[in-house]
Amino acid sequence: MEEEKSLNFIEQIVEKDLAEGVNNGRIQTRFPPEPNGYLHIGHVKAICMDFGIAEKYNGVCNLRFDDTNPAKEDTEYVETIERDIAWLGFKWGQIYYASDYFQQLYDLAIMFIKQGKAYVDEQTAEQIAEQKGTPTEPGVASPYRDRPIEENLRLFEAMQRGEIEEGKMVLRAKIDMANPNMHFRDPIMYRIITSHPHHRTGTKWKVYPMYDFAHGQSDYFEGVTHSICTLEFEVHRPLYDYFIDQFSGPNFCGLSPYGPDYRPKQREFNRLNITYTVMSKRKMLQLVKEGLVAGWDDPRMPTVCGLRRRGYTPKAIRDFMDRIGYTKVEGMIDQGLLEHTIREDLKETAPRVCAIFDPVKLVITNYEGAGETIIAENIDGHEELGTREMKFGRELWIERGDFLEEADNKFYRLSPGGREVRLKASYIIQATGCEKDASGKITTVYATYDPDSKSGTEGGNRKTKATINWVECNSALDAEVRLYDRLFAVENPSAEEGDFRDLLNPDSLKVVTAKVESSLATAKPQDHFQFLKQGYFVVDDDSKADKLIFNRTCSLKDNYLK
C-alpha cells in the first residue's frame, strides 16, 4: 500500500498494463529528441520518465533521434545529446533514427495512397491553413482531394524524384475535414525538402514525413509499448492511433515482429517550465547565434551542458525531477527549488576553502618567523572528508568589509580597540590600526595575534563573536571568478509581450578577481567548492593551473520556501 501511494500516474498505468498482460508484459520506452539543438532541463524531465520507467519495470529505453527535418538538424547535436544523457547517468538500449525508417514510411505512404487514404495537394501552405476551419466550423475540402489514385501515385513519386519544387506539393491524409479534432482535417503526411541535405541520408530523399506520420510509426516499428511525451501531444493522440490502426490489428501487414495484437500507446505528462529562464530550443539557439550568451554551455543556460558547467550535478538534477513529479497539469516551477537541490547536494560534499573577493592586506605585527602550515578540515566537523594545508604568515588577505576603522558595538569583526576575532582555522587577532592612501582608501590593516590561541590546540577553544576568512599573501593565487545570476529579469519571459531578448537580466554575469588559497592550485575542471561565506563554486572547463577560473553555482542563502 505504502509503495502504491508514491507511484506517479504513468507508473500506475504501466502497473495496470503489466497486471493485465498487455503487450505480453513487455515494457519498452524511448526518448525521442530532435537533433536540432542541445538538451535542456525540460528534456531531462522526459529522460527521467522514459529511462526511469524502463529501469523500474525491467524494460528497455531506446534513444531515437527524431530526424525528419534536415533543414534544422545536425550531427553535432546527435553527439552532444548522447554525451548529455550519459553524463546524467542513463543507459539506453539501442540508438535508432527516424531516418532509418524513411523507406518503410515511404512504402506506407504509397500503401495509403493505393487505399485511397492519401492525396497530393498542390495548394500553398497558407491556403491549406485557411481551409482548416475552426474547432466549431468544418474546414473546406481541397480541390485536389478527389484526385484519382493513379495520379496521386504518379505525383508522389515525382515529388520523391525531385521533379517538384520545394513547397509546391504535399501529401495529405484523406480523413475528415469536419472532424472536431483539427488534427484529423486531412493532416499533411509528407513535404518536399530539397534545399538541405539530410545529416545521415544526404540527398537520397526529397520528401520527408511530418511528425504525425513518423513518430507513431517509428514507435511501432521498434516495438515501443509506452510512448510517453508531453501534454501538448495529447490532441495528437487520436491521430497517432488512427495511423497505427491502418496497419495493425485487423489491418496487420507484418510491419512489426510483435504481431497483430501489439500496440504502442501514447501517454502524456506536464512539461517542465522554470521561472527566470526559457525552455525552448529555438529561443536558446537565438541566444547562442546572436552571442547573447557564450554558447550552448554558457553556465546561465538551462541546457544540460550549461547546468554542468554551472556546477550542477546529475544527482541534484535527478533529485529535482523527483521532487517536482509528474502530473497532467501545466505549471511553473520556482528556480529556487532547482538551486535548493544543488545546495543540498553540495552542502554534503563540497570542500570549504577561503576566497577573498575584495581583498585588503592584514599585517600581523607581532608575528615573527617565516610562516607555518595549518591543517584545516575540508568540511568542519568531518575529519573523514579529508583535510587541506593552508599557508599562514605575517601578511594575509582579508575581506575589506571585515574591517571598520570606526565601528559601533554591533560590529563583531575587526576594528581597532579591543574586539577579538578568530582567523578561520587558526589564530585569534585584535586590530590595532590601519593605513590609507591619499584618497582615504584603506590599504593595510594592522593587528596583533595571540600565539596561544591556535585552533586545534587548547587555546583554540576560546570563543570569539566572529570568525573571518583569510588567505596568506605570499602563497595566494589569483582566480577569475564568474558570478552568475538569473538569465532573465522577469519570472516568465515567454508570457511577456515583445521581444524576449529585451528581458535578459543585464546583471547575469559579473567577473571579479579573487585571492584564493594555494591548495586550489591543483583544482580540476568540475571540482566543486564552497567559498566560505560566498557560495558554491565549480572549476570552469577553461581553468588552468596558471589561470584559475571558477563559476558560481549558487549562493549560500536559500530563498526557497518549502
Residue ranges binding Mg ion (CB under 5 A):
34
On whether the CB atoms of residues 373 and 389 are closer than 8 A, the answer is yes
What is the side-by-side strand order in the sheet with 28-31? 28-31, 60-65, 95-97
Residue nearest ligand ATP, CB atom distance: 42
Interacting partner of 271 out of ligand ATP, Mg ion, none (Cβ under 5 to 8 A depending on kind): ligand ATP
Residue 269 or residue 537: which is nearer to ligand ATP going by CB? 269
Whichever of 10 and 210 has its CB closer to Mg ion, that residue is 210
> Which of the choices Mg ion, ligand ATP, none does residue 45 contact, using the CB cut-off of 5 to 8 A by kind?
ligand ATP
Q: By CB under 6 A, what part of segment 51-90 binds ligand ATP?
A: 66
Toward Mg ion, which CB reaches closer, 229 or 342?
Answer: 229
Dist CA 207 CA 68 (whole Å) = 10
> Which of 38, 46, 34, 35 shows the shortest CA–CA distance to 84?
38
For position 280 contacting ligand ATP by CB under 6 A, the verdict is: yes
Q: Environment class of residue 492 by beta-carbon count within 10 Å: exposed (0-12), middle (13-18) or buried (19+)? A: middle
* Pairwise CA distance, residues 298 & 304, whole Å: 10
| Among ligand ATP, Mg ion, none, partner that 274 touches (CB below 5 to 8 angstroms by kind) | none
Least distance to ligand ATP from the beta carbon of 279, Å?
Answer: 4
| Residue 279 contacts which entry, Mg ion, ligand ATP, none (Cβ below 5-8 A, type-dependent) | ligand ATP
Q: Per CB under 6 A, does 360 bind ligand ATP?
A: no
Query: 42 touches which of ligand ATP, Mg ion, none (CB within 5 to 8 A by kind)?
Result: ligand ATP
CB of 273 to ligand ATP, least distance (A): 6
Q: Does 493 bind ligand ATP (CB under 6 A)?
A: no
Whole-angstrom Cα distance, residue 242 to residue 68? 20
> CA-CA distance, 67 to 128, in Å (whole number)?
24
Residue 32 partner contact from ligand ATP, Mg ion, none using kind-dependent CB cut-offs of 5 to 8 Å: ligand ATP
Beta-carbon contacts of 62 under 8 Å, excluding residues fewer than 6 positions away, are 28, 29, 30, 31, 92, 93, 94, 95, 96, 222, 224
| Residue 15 annotated in active site | no
Q: Which of 117, 271, 388, 486 binds ligand ATP (CB under 6 A)?
A: 271
Q: Which residues contact 488 (CB under 8 A, 6 or more apart)?
A: 276, 277, 278, 500, 503, 504, 505
Residue 472 touches which of Mg ion, ligand ATP, none (Cβ within 5-8 Å per kind): none
Nearer to ligand ATP, 367 or 500 (CB): 500
Q: Are 247 and 463 in contact (CB under 8 A)?
A: no
Per-residue DSSP letter, 272:
P
Tell me which of 11, 15, 34, 157 is the catalytic residue. Answer: 34
For residue 78, what are the contacts with CB-CB under 8 A and spacing of at least 6? 35, 65, 67, 199
User: What separation in angstroms does the CA of 536 have from each of 216, 484, 529, 539?
Assistant: 44, 11, 6, 10
Q: Is 318 in the site for ligand ATP (CB under 6 A)?
A: no
Q: Pick the catalytic residue from 281, 318, 413, 454.
A: 281
Task: Extract the C-alpha cell encoding 449.
Answer: 595575534
151 is catalytic: no
Which CA distances in Å does 414 have to 358, 399, 468? Answer: 15, 10, 9
Show the site string, 4-43: x = touches ligand ATP by CB under 6 A, - = not.
Answer: ----------------------------xxx-------xx
Assess whether 281 carries a catalytic annotation.
yes
Strand order in the sheet with 395-399: 467-468, 420-423, 428-436, 442-450, 359-364, 395-399, 471-472
Among 120, 207, 272, 346, binds ligand ATP (CB under 6 A): 272
- State CA 78 to chain mean position distance: 16
**Candidate ranges 88-96, 271-279, 470-478, 509-517; the one touching ligand ATP (CB under 6 A):** 271-279
Amino acid (1-letter code) at residue 297? D
Q: Which residue of 185, 226, 236, 281 would you call a contact of ligand ATP, by CB under 6 A? A: 281
Which residue has the closest beta carbon to Mg ion?
34
User: What is the distance between the alpha carbons of residues 219 and 449, in angstroms, rounded to a whole number?
Assistant: 72
Closest separation in Å from C-beta 201 to ligand ATP: 19
177, 279, 292, 404: residue in contact with ligand ATP (rule CB under 6 A): 279
Between 189 and 272, whose beta carbon lies closer to ligand ATP?
272
Window 199-218: residues binding ligand ATP (CB under 6 A): none
Four-point Cα dihedral 421, 424, 425, 428, nearest 10: -20
Q: Which is nearer to ligand ATP, 68 or 534 (CB)?
A: 68
In the complex, which residues of this chain contact ligand ATP (CB under 6 A)? Answer: 32-34, 42-43, 45-46, 66, 229-230, 271-272, 279-282
- Which residue numbers are catalytic? 34, 271, 281
